[in-house]
């Protein structure tokens, strides 16, 4: 394994711990579309149901 890959993997694991779940834009396994849909559901749900 190349040195740059080792460094990249270490940085990725550290960054994942620091970033909030809401920061899904370009992170592996997280979908921006899913977050947009969730926000839409929250906005369109009447306050009486929450």
Q: Is 1 helix (H, G, I), strand (E, B) or coil?
A: coil
3-class secondary-structure state, position 45? coil
Per-residue pLDDT of the chain in tens (50 residues, 90 and over written 9): 699 999 998 888 888 777 776 666 667 777 778 878 888 888 888 775 55
| pLDDT on residue 22 | 63
Rounded to whole angstroms, the Cα distance separating 6 from 14 reads: 13
In this prediction, residue 25 carries a pLDDT of 66
- Give domain status of residue 31, yes or no: yes
How high is the pLDDT of residue 1? 65
Identify whether the C-beta of residue 27 lies closer than 8 Å to the C-beta of residue 19.
yes
| DSSP labels, 3-44 | HHHHHHHHHHHHHHHHS-TT--TT-TT--HHHHHHHHHHHHH
**Which pLDDT belongs to residue 31?**
77
| Number of domains composing the chain | 1
Q: Is residue 6 part of a domain?
A: no
The domain of 30 spans: 22-50
């Amino acid at each position: 394994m190349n040195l740059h890959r080792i460094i990249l993997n270490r940085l990725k694991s550290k960054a994942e711990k620091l970033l909030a779940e809401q920061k899904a834009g370009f992170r592996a396994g997280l979908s921006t579309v899913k977050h947009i849909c969730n926000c839409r559901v929250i906005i369109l749900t009447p306050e009486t149901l929450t």
